[in-house]
Amino acid sequence: ARHLCLLFSAPLLRPRPSLTCKAGPEIQAFVIPHSHMDVGWVYTVQESMHAYASNVYSSVVEELSRVKSRKFIAVEQEFFRLWWVNVATDWHKKQVGQLLKEGRLEFIIGGQVMHDEAVTDVDDAILQLTEGHGFLYETFGVRPRFGWHVDPFGASATTPVLFALAGFDAHLISRIDYDLKDDMQKNKKLQFVWRGSPSLKEKQEIFTHTMDQFSYCTPSYLPFSNRSGFYWNGVALFPDPPKDGIYPNMSLPVTKETVELYAQTMVDNIKQRAQWFRTSHVLWPWGCDKQFFNASVQFMNMDVIMNYINTHSDKYGVAVQYATLQDYFQTVHQTNLSWDVRGNQDFLPYSTEPFQAWTGFYGSRNVLKGVARRASSLLYAAESLFTRYRISYPNGPVQKEWALDKLKALRWAVSEVQHHDGITGTESPKVADMYMEHLMQGMMGAEELLAAVFLLPQTLELSNDIHHTPQTRSTTHIIVYNPLAWNISTYINISVAYAMAVVLDDDGKAVPAQIQQSMESSTVYDLFFVVELGGLQYRMYIVQFPQSHCDTGSACGATHVARVVTFKKKNVSQWKRTGRKLLPVLNECYKLMFDQETNLLHSITDRQMRVRVQQDFWEYEANGDVHSGPISDNYIFTANGSAIPAYKSVAMEIVPGKVVSEIRQYFYREEEDKNHTYSVVTRVPVGFEGRLACFRLEQSYKVGPLEINRETVFRTRTSLKNNRTLFTDNNGYQMMKRTYKTFVNNTIARNYYPMVRAAYIQDDSSRVVFLSERAHGVASLSQGQLEVMLHRRLWNNQEWNLGYNLTLNDSSVVRPVLWMMLGSPSALSSIYQQEALQLQHRPVVMPIDQPQIVPDMPHPSFFSPLSYSPSCIHLSLLYYVLNISYSYARYACLNVYISFLGLNAPIRT
């Protein structure tokens, strides 16, 4: 245990006269007015601004200015910034500044959104936090000091570390497992010191407050009325506010007849909460979703109740006051108590009752999850490239203001989608479309910026190899950029329209390449070629398409023409003796054996270590009728029994190559089906001995469209003795050990965990690792088994879901990618994190028609790789260097976060 006083900086939490301890009522309640405003969910951001969000800040500022005792906390910066820029008058802006100085308006979290904690990547959580904090510091000179994560569906151990690193003094959470919260309430353990990082430990600990069973909303039950309690402005209406000002479910006004009834209800609830905490100070959140759009009627009624309670405090034993989190946490701090310490355990998964495991959203809206991560990676690439450009060409032709506008749009879009009803996939279809539109527009702008930088003047001297190339049909120029800080050697894949191609690098040298028939179309070919790039380096490659036969010794010889070998379709019902006829596919690191009786993977050998491995698709059948039992929806996964095989037959093609060997497996729902429902393509890199690419087995999936009420998993069964123990990453930051637990109900769903970047199973001698480029749900439900949920399509007749259009009738086809690695735990522990980042930040590939040549311009110096690029360091953020970004770089200074891959410990310099 540690004293809370050790966690706070004295200048921040200096005592205020109004909070001086004195004799008084037994319980002191801190009434914290707030409005929970989802940045998307059922309604788009634009709809929410129109219906209520603009009025929240306008009316709150007006009401705080009228009465000095009133206070308010503001959370989601996206809504506040839109109000500040588009709605607030000069008077409003002046008053906001004054209220901040007085401590009566307090920004909490300060991020663009209240980000999800299960399926967000740590880099994106940092991004959205930085985006909001930068605006606040630039505009007001303030920095938020407290977390308020009241609505994410479970709490990760990464978030308290991130908030501690950001200088927060305390953190507040709410949604944790129902039975755990009940136990913590009974034992008064809702408050503790959280050390979320196993490496940083007490260096980045933070005092954490867990909200009780009433969560962040004011209790809605009024024993003397059939209306909701303490919400006098009622419920927001969409799309337009009512012209008569009468909103649904407006609470009973406070009058002489009702004030005592209201006061007694509030006091009873305060005393009930007080029983669950160690101090006599009660945090009483006043507000809920979409509240305070009419702050006048809200404060006018609450003022009367609070004055009545304080006037009769001797009778009630309770005193109440408007407060911010600063007020509450400082008062708790002054009690000088010692608190239990919690290690790096998280609060995942999250269940609200036995059949309500919120593990479905780990896999909901797979397409959106993929686009969000691609947008984040593109933003990272664009920012790092433009940073190097500005270093070399501070007055270059790519204008700083234009470039920063492009980056800002994508930063906003990537930040926005991290909302806990965004990347989670728990939003309505029109909100998902909004996120997708903002992401795609932002990505287009970033690609314009990349093109502008790439097309800088450059001299391309071609060697004599080109003169040996036959006359060509056409030429394509490909620019490939490595956004990582270390050297890479890998392959890239582009689609071409011709059956033969020659690839030349920027020195005119022929590059090892491979061309083959695409599995997608008979008129398209896949061209693979090897790229060697230094840290933050880009190179140009020329792809030529010969018209005639290639001469011996010409550049064509560097391109291997791979042939597709087709195997007979195998029906599951006709499988006989498996494991007798095995077909090997080899590279320098692995030997994969495929069973010709089943067309499935049989085993993988890593040097001398052989592991049985079988992979295929399975489905969970979900219940869609609330009258027949528990259901699955956007949020919840309720397994209606064990998963069943999702196929009746399997076809296979193998493409032996000299850059990559490809195994294509097609899974048919029924034996007679002509079109497959699922496919997986496993790519085995060839010719990369001694390099990381050799260890990487890339698997690309095609899933869907699914039948209604199906949840599809890709299951890998191995001979490992892992005792159903799984390791998953926490937001891509640190690995968490997940031990299988047995429950009376819903055991399958409650053993699912989020995988953001990595998951693995292992025994004493072997480890099987999966790396992902988007979030998924993952579980180990049997010995040696690991399954990844790839896609969900659900419909149910629950009134609440139907009313908000949250049934997840997702008929899309999804194409996620996983990298699989196999080896000893000691061998893989040193490389899998680096590989996860390489999957996250794959080379940016941009085809261009012709490079633009402008005379008398020097060759750009940032064309060359970094002079020092150790593979153990990842430059996580690099966009404030040399003050190229917003003016609040003065606050951020040199905001470069460096992740030491062996320690999982980002530091700031």
Encode pLDDT of 807-843 as tens digits: 999 999 999 999 999 999 999 998 999 999 999 999 9
Question: Which of 288-297, 455-464, 673-682 has the least mean pLDDT?
Answer: 455-464
- What pLDDT is recorded for position 640? 87
Structure confidence at residue 547 as a pLDDT band (50, 70, 90): confident
223-257: burial string, b at 16+ Cβ within 10 Å, e else: eeeeebbbbbbbbbeeeebeeeeebeebbbebeee
Structure confidence at residue 905 as a pLDDT band (50, 70, 90): very low
Give me the helices (H) in 53-205, please: 54-66, 77-86, 90-102, 122-140, 158-165, 178-186
Closest CA to 588 of 684, 524, 515: 684
Please check whether residue 790 is in contact with residue 776, taking contact to mean a CB–CB distance below 8 angstroms.
yes
Superfamily of domain 27-109+144-347: Glycoside hydrolase 38, N terminal domain (3.20.110.10)
Give the CA dihedral 357, 359, 364, 367, nearest 10 degrees. Answer: 180
Structure confidence at residue 509 as a pLDDT band (50, 70, 90): very high
Residue 856 annotated among the catalytic residues of the structure = no
- What pLDDT is recorded for position 546? 87
- What pLDDT is recorded for position 787? 98
Catalytic position from the list 38, 151, 327, 763: 151
Q: List, edge to edge, every strand of the sheet that includes 488-496.
A: 488-496, 525-533, 513-517, 559-561
Q: Is the pLDDT reported for residue 720 higher than 70?
A: yes
Closest CA to 408 of 449, 351, 358, 468: 449
Q: 200 vs 193, 343, 887, 907, CA distance in Å?
A: 14, 11, 31, 10
Please check whether residue 38 is in contact with residue 53, taking contact to mean a CB–CB distance below 8 angstroms.
no
Q: Is the pLDDT reported for residue 701 higher than 60?
A: yes
Q: What is the DSSP letter of 260?
A: H
User: What does DSSP say about strands 27-33 and 281-286: parallel, antiparallel, or unpaired?
Assistant: parallel
Q: Is the pLDDT reported for residue 575 higher than 60?
A: yes
Tens of pLDDT, residue by residue over 38-79, are: 999 999 999 999 999 999 999 999 999 999 999 999 999 999
Host H or E run for residue 762: strand 758-762
- State yes or no: cis peptide before 705, omega within 30 of 0: yes
- What pLDDT is recorded for position 396? 85
CB under 8 Å to 574, separation ≥6 — which residues?
none
Q: Count CB-CB contacts under 10 A for residue 399.
A: 11
Mean pLDDT, residues 201-212 taken together? 95
As a whole number of Å, the end-to-end CA separation of the chain is 30
Tens of pLDDT, residue by residue over 852-887, are: 543 333 344 455 677 666 666 777 654 443 333 333
Residue with the bigger pLDDT between 886 and 577: it is 577
Structure tokens at 26: 């037994």
Task: Let me know how many helices (H) and strands (E) the chain has, helices first.
Answer: 19, 41
Distance of alpha carbon 706 from its chain centroid, rounded? 24
Mean pLDDT, residues 102-112 taken together? 97
CB under 8 Å to 5, separation ≥6 — which residues?
333, 336
839-877: burial string, b at 16+ Cβ within 10 Å, e else: bbbbbbebeeeebeeeeeeeebebbebbeebebebbbbb
Q: How far apart are CA 168 and CA 111, in angstroms?
A: 12
- What pLDDT is recorded for position 401? 94
Q: Is the pLDDT reported for residue 472 higher than 60?
A: no
Q: How far apart are CA 154 and CA 635, in angstroms?
A: 12
Please check whether residue 821 is in contact with residue 757, taking contact to mean a CB–CB distance below 8 angstroms.
no
- What pLDDT is recorded for position 601? 98
Closest CA to 785 of 574, 587, 642: 642
- What pLDDT is recorded for position 169? 97
Please check whether residue 181 is in contact with residue 213, taking contact to mean a CB–CB distance below 8 angstroms.
yes
Closest CA to 875 of 368, 439, 485: 485
- What pLDDT is recorded for position 6? 31
- What pLDDT is recorded for position 855? 36
Looking at the DSSP assignment, which residues form a beta bridge with residue 319? 28
Please check whether residue 589 is in contact with residue 690, taking contact to mean a CB–CB distance below 8 angstroms.
no
Q: For the chain, what are the domain ranges?
A: 27-109+144-347, 565-840
- What pLDDT is recorded for position 867? 64
One-letter amino acid at 273 equals R
Mean pLDDT, residues 248-270 taken together? 96
- What pLDDT is recorded for position 21? 43
CB under 8 Å to 313, separation ≥6 — which residues?
24, 25, 319
Structure confidence at residue 31 as a pLDDT band (50, 70, 90): very high
Helix, strand, coil percentages in the chain from 3-state DSSP, rounded to 5: 30, 25, 45
- What pLDDT is recorded for position 549? 65
Structure tokens at 720: 């490992």
- What pLDDT is recorded for position 471? 53
Looking at the DSSP assignment, which residues form a beta bridge with residue 605? 591, 610
Please check whether residue 510 is in contact with residue 434, taking contact to mean a CB–CB distance below 8 angstroms.
no
Tens of pLDDT, residue by residue over 163-189, are: 999 999 999 999 999 999 999 999 999
Phi and psi angles of residue 531, each rounded to the nearest 5 degrees, phi first: -125, 140
Q: Which CATH architecture has domain 565-840?
A: Distorted Sandwich (2.70)
Please check whether residue 624 is in contact with residue 617, taking contact to mean a CB–CB distance below 8 angstroms.
no
User: What does DSSP say about strands 513-517 and 559-561: parallel, antiparallel, or unpaired?
Assistant: parallel
Mean pLDDT, residues 790-804 taken together? 94
Report percent pLDDT > 70 for the chain: 88
Closest CA to 173 of 143, 204, 146, 142: 146
CB under 8 Å to 470, separation ≥6 — which residues?
546, 547, 548, 549, 550, 551, 554, 556
User: What does DSSP say about strands 538-546 and 170-173: parallel, antiparallel, or unpaired?
Assistant: unpaired
Structure tokens at 874: 């990842």
* Average pLDDT of every residue of the chain: 89
Report percent pLDDT > 90 for the chain: 80
